[in-house]
Amino acid sequence: MTSENHSNRENKSAYPNPQAESRPSLPSWAGMAIVFLTAAVIVLLGLLATSIMERRWESQRPALVLKPIDQWESDNAKWGENYPREYESYLKGEITDTETKFGGAYPRDYLDADPYQVILFAGYGFGKDYLQGRSHFYAVEDINKTKRIKPDFYAATCWTCKSPDVPRLMNTMGVKEFYASNWHDLKNEITHPIGCQDCHEPQTMNLRISRPALKEAFAAMGKDIEKATHQEMRSLVCAQCHVEYYFETNEKTSLKNYLTFPWGKGTTVEQMIEYYDETNFSDFLHPISKTPIVKAQHPDYEMFMTGVHAYRDVSCSDCHMPYKTEGGLKFTDHHVQSPLLNISNSCAICHRWSEEEVRSRVETIQTKNFEAKMKVEKALVEAHFDVAAAAEAGATDAELAEPRKLLRHAQFRWDYVSANNGMGFHSPQESMRVLADSVNQAQQARLMIARLLATRSVKALPQYPDVSTREKAWNVAKGYVDGNGVKILK
Ligand code: HEC
Ligand code: HEC
Ligand code: HEC
Ligand code: HEC
């Protein structure tokens, strides 16, 4: 109701009105007062409704005086003084005994559990030390502990996804210079684990992209990340780190270990391996099959984007950072963890299934994915040994080029699924599709080797070494690394 309506009514009352005469008329100011009172009540009701319905975080700290936070403040505790609920929930990341069937905050040793991976990563750091990730709270501690860091020089780029000290240092050192430095030289500067500044702009607390690599990757695809919607940002803050990446070293552009996402052609597994083929990139030369291998990192965002939840506009935060209520106040749970440890606040907001049903649906998807993945691993391991057998029988590099290329592609596809967090849950169909392509390529490579051996009249069948435990697999891998690998054609 507006004052314009009110004045119209007053104008109308200037016309003769028979009823008006029979009623005692109100004083002239009363109409005005009623209008204002009604408006005030409506506004108050509206405010009440928004504060109940919307999870407005401002309302939770009416008396709190916010201390200014520096643009590059990396100490999570300082932010925590302003936002104690978010900070306290973040600190719950300290818990590390929440094992779920395939995940949870628990340092599962992948190589003990699955010795095939010792062979698949033979001669590379991941064949030596490969633990399941824990919470953000441990990011700095865990990188300091991993045996993958080489003692003299290691790319400082590896710090990029571990700490809010990184944007601060990039700001003072320069981005290019940061990446080109030695990991060990920055050790004293980088002490705070992943935290507030990685995802938030301190003045407004808006979500922000603090890492250049994601912005650059969007630009390379011709997209502008500044145009992302709020709901997209609730996944993009995660995509700063939970993605596939490599370090670009290029003398022409004088880049050294520059963090780059291989998204120039797009974010599907096919587009990424095609990108790697064109740029001739590989992480290591496999010592058994002499195949140049690309290690997939953790393409969580890319995989997630192919699934039904992304299609339906659900974000990473909806499941991993759901709302939480404490003392009647709603806020975002900053204990980023497996949603299976928090089903009632995450999945159950949208799905009216019992907790047991949710868990069993997730585990059914994961178990199928796991079983398929193990079959692919067996085929890949045998393919590496088959290529070694062909080399033993005198096959030339030219003859082995095609099987090696198939093996390179097959292993990247397998790893794209294997290194992905969530054991296939984020996009079950895509995971299975990629595993199917992987096993097909691995078997094609093996078939080519079988034909090659037949044309050379090799009668002996390949005898694969026993790699059923981590130790046995390690010894086999080490033999090849040292140049005296076991003979396959006995
Ligand atoms: C629809 C809900 C949902 C969405 C959306 C979602 N996830 Fe997950 N995520 C899960 C489930 C379920 C698991 C499996 C947890 C387990 O096995 O304990 C998981 C596992 C993970 C894990 C491993 C955690 C662990 O304890 O094993 C990471 C890391 C992860 N997701 C990151 C992401 C990222 C990044 C995004 C967005 C790109 C995302 N997730 C989107 C449900 C979701
Ligand atoms: C600055 C980089 C970075 C950002 C941003 C980031 N993560 Fe992580 N995340 C990591 C790293 C590194 C680890 C592993 C830490 C470890 O094991 O020490 C991790 C671990 C996790 C885990 C495993 C926790 C557990 O208990 O098993 C989940 C789940 C996860 N992240 C989800 C997310 C989601 C969801 C987002 C976005 C809201 C996100 N992450 C944003 C780097 C990041
Ligand atoms: C991995 C990314 C990430 C990190 C790290 C992070 N936040 Fe958040 N934060 C979010 C997301 C996502 C939201 C939901 C924002 C939205 O939807 O507008 C959020 C919301 C908030 C809000 C708004 C109120 C609420 O609870 O919804 C505050 C305040 C906040 N975070 C404080 C913090 C503090 C303090 C820290 C450090 C201890 C922190 N955040 C670390 C991602 C993060
Ligand atoms: C913000 C809402 C939202 C949240 C939170 C959410 N989902 Fe969903 N989920 C959806 C939507 C929407 C669909 C698609 C339904 C459709 O299109 O028919 C879906 C589909 C699914 C499907 C069926 C997929 C298929 O194609 O068969 C499963 C299983 C599922 N969700 C499990 C989960 C689990 C487990 C969690 C918690 C880790 C979760 N969801 C969290 C909204 C959500």
Q: 282's torsion region: left (phi>0), alpha (psi -120 to 50) or beta?
A: beta
Average pLDDT of the residues in 42-46: 68
Q: Which two tokens stand for residue 49?
A: 């409704």
Q: What is the pLDDT of residue 234?
A: 98
- Which amino acid is present at 343? I
**pLDDT above 50: residue 14:** no
CA atoms of 220 and 271, how far apart (whole Å): 13
Ligand 4 proximity of 312 Cβ (cutoff 6 Å): yes
Q: Which two tokens stand for residue 304?
A: 């997630």
User: What are the tens digits of pLDDT across the range 331-359?
Assistant: 999 999 999 999 999 999 999 999 999 99
pLDDT band for position 48 (50/70/90)?
low
Ligand 4 probe mutation, 312, 315, 332, 366, most atoms within 8 A of CB: 312
Q: What is the pLDDT of residue 340?
A: 98
CA atoms of 180 and 248, how far apart (whole Å): 10
Ligand 3 pocket by Cβ (under 6 Å): 57, 76, 79-80, 83, 86-87, 90, 194-196, 198-200, 205, 207, 234, 237, 317, 321, 331-332, 334
**pLDDT above 60: residue 440:** yes
Proportion of the chain above pLDDT 70, given as a percent: 89
Q: Using an 8 Å Cβ cutoff, are 320 and 105 in contact?
A: no
**For all residues of the chain together, what is the average pLDDT?**
91
147-156, 301-310, 379-388: segment of lowest average pLDDT: 147-156
User: What are the tens digits of pLDDT across the range 454-480?
Assistant: 999 998 889 999 999 999 999 999 999
Return the C-alpha torsion angle 80, 86, 88, 91, nearest 10.
-90
Query: Which ligand lies nearest to the CA atom of residue 332 in the structure?
Result: 3
pLDDT band for position 51 (50/70/90)?
low
CA atoms of 173 and 179, how far apart (whole Å): 10
User: What are the tens digits of pLDDT across the range 196-216?
Assistant: 999 999 999 999 999 999 999
Q: 258's torsion region: left (phi>0), alpha (psi -120 to 50) or beta?
A: beta
Q: Using an 8 Å Cβ cutoff, are 235 and 309 in contact?
A: no
Q: What is the pLDDT of residue 217?
A: 98
Q: Using an 8 Å Cβ cutoff, are 244 and 299 in contact?
A: yes
User: What are the tens digits of pLDDT across the range 321-336?
Assistant: 999 999 899 999 999 9
Q: What is the pLDDT of residue 212?
A: 97
| Distance of CA 277 from the midpoint of ligand 2 (Å) | 29
Q: What is the pLDDT of residue 250?
A: 93
Q: What is the pLDDT of residue 46?
A: 62
Burial (CB count <10 Å: 0-12, 13-18, 19+), residue 49: exposed
Q: What is the pLDDT of residue 57?
A: 52
**pLDDT above 80: residue 90:** yes
CA atoms of 35 and 184, how far apart (whole Å): 71
| Distance of CA 186 from the midpoint of ligand 3 (Å) | 27
pLDDT band for position 36 (50/70/90)?
confident
**pLDDT above 70: residue 407:** yes
User: What are the tens digits of pLDDT across the range 251-267?
Assistant: 999 999 999 999 999 99
Q: What is the pLDDT of residue 28?
A: 66
Contacting residues for 336 by C-beta, under 8 A, at least 6 apart: 93, 135, 136, 320, 321
Ligand 3 probe mutation, 317, 332, 345, 346, most atoms within 8 A of CB: 332
Q: What is the pLDDT of residue 479?
A: 97
